[in-house]
């Protein structure tokens, strides 16, 4: 059976943009910024007269959805595996019992009941001072703990007190990572109960600094490191990981960590952080999460010369060598964990991100957070913002600064949603979206995703404000240092009129006696619930309509009270409920598209999602 090309999200359009005319004289237009539209790593320039909707785009438009659905109808290609990843038998053959895996190496895992000292040292089961008297007797813990028996609540209080005493964010980060390695449930209890306070610690912006200094703060490995040294042995490497039932893998190659660029092997902080959110925000079990860093070297001279750098000391492998390693990895993942494991690509550089998504979208359950997750969260924010700025989605004009993964992904998803609403071809919708600056357009929505900080200058924000009663301004680049502008700047320069959200959080701002709280337009709203939806439905492929389903669900959960405060996202304090609703909407779409394998379909998908969610409450040991 042939493996028909099934266009994954955003692929051909990027190809066409890449092929587009590059004009070096694109600077200076009515909004006062240059036409530079690449991320740090891409540094591409796109001509100002190259409208998003180009002739070349048209040729490939519509293929993705149509071909997906057609392929599904024909029953031909969606489930096909590429020849190298086809396995006959051996799927999830954990203990090496099948004939088909006779020639494969086996890790001699032994599972035993932890007790005594090793129980205290096991982060999955350790409860510290919360072991009861009975448990202390039954599990050989007498004398290994001081006499007091604490509650989990008291432990939480104590740890929050101590974390709050650290002034330096990185110290808070290290304290949280230490806790995760010592007492996993308590770590998640803290994160879940104090999500708004701790998100900036374990996630952006602090995780960015942590990655930059990862070699210096490295204590224990928290995920799998797959480097060029492991070429030919990746399946064995996967088998070294102690957990067998993996549902979500977040993988990076470290080449574009947030807006900080190439951090090589030290990008590991990102998969670790994202998966902590998968559990805390989306309820995916920690044991089912696997952070992975693919190390093909780094072009970051500073790291190559850093004596504490933890990765391969060589320049990045590219081309065939790179793709061969990635292919071995993707094949091994499917062979080891089966069809339903979600592989989330995170912080790959543009040139690889689109290609990997295209290549593996047909054979694996893959999701690119930077292209698709960010698109879904931004579409939700824009749809919600319509309540504040007025008009319908197709009535607005969008200008992007940054046509990398996020910019392209967002533009595509907005165009897709517009064309669903207007029933007009997607080419028409694309005409409202500009990936470059131009003298003639008067954008109503300004979206920054260039990875370059401070590009929304006073001039830019003032120009937006002079054209719009309520300009919608999204400064998406992370971490805070790379934000296109600060919340304070947005409110000051727009005289309090901007509807503003940013990728990394900003504190509320006071302007002329009024307090303005801004939202966080970060894919953290989407990926945990999105992944949970895939997991509970047993989905085998990601489809664009699932991204729309996630986005729709998020937008619906913005309350009147939020709107009154100028917010276009609900607060993170409700994120578990938000994620359960997103999961239910995504799962419903998976069933509708015939991409779900967990049958029969649960009647109430919200209840199903909620009941599947991880709880950090201590369990009693017999
Ligand atoms: O990690 C974040 O905060 C959002 C994201 O995916 C990125 O900036 O690459
Ligand atoms: Mg990312």
DSSP codes of every residue in 459-472: HHHHHHHHH-SS-E
Q: Which residues are annotated as a binding site?
A: 256, 346-347, 370, 478, 522
**Over the range 200-222, which residues count as b (16 or more CB within 10 Å of their CB) and which as e?**
bbbbbbbbbbbbbbbbebbeeeb
> What pLDDT score does 70 carry?
42
Active-site residue flag, 203: yes
Running along the chain, 622 residues long, what does each successive block of 10 average in pLDDT? 28 28 29 29 31 36 36 36 40 70 79 91 97 97 98 98 98 98 98 98 98 96 97 96 95 98 98 98 97 98 98 98 98 95 98 97 98 98 98 97 95 97 96 85 95 96 97 98 98 98 97 96 98 98 98 98 96 97 98 98 97 96 92
Active-site residue flag, 274: yes
Taken in order 136, 141, 147, 148, the sign of the CA dihedral is negative
> What pLDDT score does 22 carry?
27
d(CA 347, CA 325): 17
Nearest bound ligand to the CA of residue 251: 2
Q: What are phi and psi of 36, to 5 degrees?
A: -70, 120
Distances (CA, A) of 407 to 47, 63, 373, 464, 594: 16, 20, 12, 19, 30
Q: Which two tokens stand for residue 191?
A: 């994160």
Ligand 1 pocket mutation pick from 370, 525, 569 by most atoms within 8 angstroms of CB: 370
Distances (CA, A) of 119 to 128, 242, 312, 621: 10, 16, 35, 11
Interval between CA 368 and ligand 1 midpoint (Å): 11
d(CA 45, CA 55): 19
**Full set of structural domains in the chain with CATH:** 116-202 (1.20.1370.30), 205-368 (3.40.50.10380), 369-611 (3.40.50.720)
| Residue found under tokens 């490497």 | 237
593 Cβ contact partners less than 8 Å away, ≥ 6 residues apart: 69, 72, 543, 545, 546
Interval between CA 550 and ligand 1 midpoint (Å): 18
d(CA 586, CA 299): 38
> What pLDDT score does 372 carry?
98
Q: Does residue 204 line the site of ligand 1, with CB under 6 A?
A: yes
Among 48, 239, 274, 589, the one annotated catalytic: 274
> What pLDDT score does 52 carry?
52
Q: In ligand 1, which atom is closest to the CA atom of 374? A: 6
Among 12, 188, 203, 309, the one annotated catalytic: 203
Q: Which two tokens stand for residue 106?
A: 């086996």
pTM of full prediction above 0.90: no
Model ipTM over 0.95? yes
Interval between CA 139 and ligand 1 midpoint (Å): 43
Distances (CA, A) of 70 to 66, 75, 348, 423: 6, 8, 30, 19
Closest alpha carbon to 251 in 231, 239, 267:
267
Q: What 3-state class would DSSP assign to 502? A: strand
Interval between CA 405 and ligand 2 midpoint (Å): 10
């Amino acid at each position: 059976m042939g493996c028909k090309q099934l266009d994954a999200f955003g692929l051909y359009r990027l190809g066409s943009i890449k092929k587009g005319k590059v004009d070096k004289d694109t600077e200076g237009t009515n909004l006062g910024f240059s036409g530079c539209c690449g991320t740090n790593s891409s540094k591409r320039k796109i001509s100002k007269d190259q409208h998003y909707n180009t002739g070349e785009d048209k040729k490939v438009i519509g293929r993705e959805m149509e071909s997906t659905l057609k392929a599904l109808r024909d029953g031909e290609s969606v489930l096909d595996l590429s020849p190298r990843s086809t396995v006959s038998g051996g799927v999830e053959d954990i203990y090496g019992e099948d004939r088909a895996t006779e020639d494969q190496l086996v890790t001699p895992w032994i599972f035993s009941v932890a007790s005594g000292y090793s129980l205290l040292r096991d982060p999955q089961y350790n409860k510290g001072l919360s072991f009861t008297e009975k448990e202390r007797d039954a599990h050989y813990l007498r004398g290994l703990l001081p006499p007091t028996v604490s509650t989990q609540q008291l432990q939480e209080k104590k740890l929050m007190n101590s974390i709050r005493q650290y002034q330096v964010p990185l110290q808070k980060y290290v304290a949280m990572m230490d806790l995760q390695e010592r007492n996993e449930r308590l770590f998640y209890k803290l994160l879940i109960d104090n999500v708004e306070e701790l998100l900036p610690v374990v996630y952006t912006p602090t995780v960015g600094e942590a990655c930059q200094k990862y070699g210096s703060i490295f204590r224990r490995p928290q995920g799998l490191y797959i480097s060029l040294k492991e070429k030919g042995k990746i399946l064995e490497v996967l088998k070294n990981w102690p957990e067998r039932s993996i549902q979500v893998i977040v993988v990076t190659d470290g080449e574009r960590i947030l807006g900080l660029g190439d951090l090589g092997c030290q990008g590991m902080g990102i998969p670790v952080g994202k998966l902590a959110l998968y559990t805390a925000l989306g309820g995916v079990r920690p044991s089912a999460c696997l952070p992975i860093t693919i190390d093909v070297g780094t072009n970051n001279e500073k790291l190559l010369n850093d004596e504490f750098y933890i990765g391969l000391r060589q320049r990045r492998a590219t081309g065939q060598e790179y793709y061969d390693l990635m292919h071995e990895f993707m094949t091994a993942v499917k062979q080891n964990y089966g069809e339903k494991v979600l592989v989330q690509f995170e912080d790959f550089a543009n040139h690889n991100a689109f290609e990997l998504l295209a290549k593996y979208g047909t054979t694996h359950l893959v999701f690119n957070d930077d292209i698709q997750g960010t698109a879904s969260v931004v579409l939700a924010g824009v749809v919600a913002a319509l309540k504040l700025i007025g008009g319908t989605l197709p009535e607005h004009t969008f200008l992007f600064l940054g046509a990398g993964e996020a910019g392209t992904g967002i533009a595509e998803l907005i165009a897709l949603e517009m064309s669903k609403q207007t029933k007009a071809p997607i080419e028409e919708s694309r005409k409202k979206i500009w990936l470059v600056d131009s003298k003639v357009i008067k954008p109503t929505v300004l979206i920054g995703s260039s990875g370059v900080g401070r590009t929304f200058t006073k001039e830019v924000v003032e120009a937006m404000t002079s054209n719009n009663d309520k300009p919608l301004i999204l400064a998406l680049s992370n971490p805070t240092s790379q934000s296109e502008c600060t919340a304070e700047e947005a409110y000051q320069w727009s005289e309090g009129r901007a509807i503003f959200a940013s990728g990394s959080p900003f504190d509320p701002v006071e302007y002329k006696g009024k307090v303005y709280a801004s939202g966080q337009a970060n894919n953290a709203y989407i990926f945990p619930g999105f992944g949970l939806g895939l997991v509970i439905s047993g989905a085998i492929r990601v489809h664009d309509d699932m991204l729309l389903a996630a986005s729709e669900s998020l937008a619906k959960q913005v309350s009147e009270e939020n709107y009154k405060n100028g917010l276009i996202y609900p607060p993170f304090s409700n994120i578990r409920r938000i994620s359960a609703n997103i999961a239910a909407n995504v799962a419903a779409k998976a069933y509708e598209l015939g991409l779900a394998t967990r049958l029969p379909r649960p009647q109430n998908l919200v209840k199903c999602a909620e009941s599947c969610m991880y709880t950090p409450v201590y369990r009693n040991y017999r």
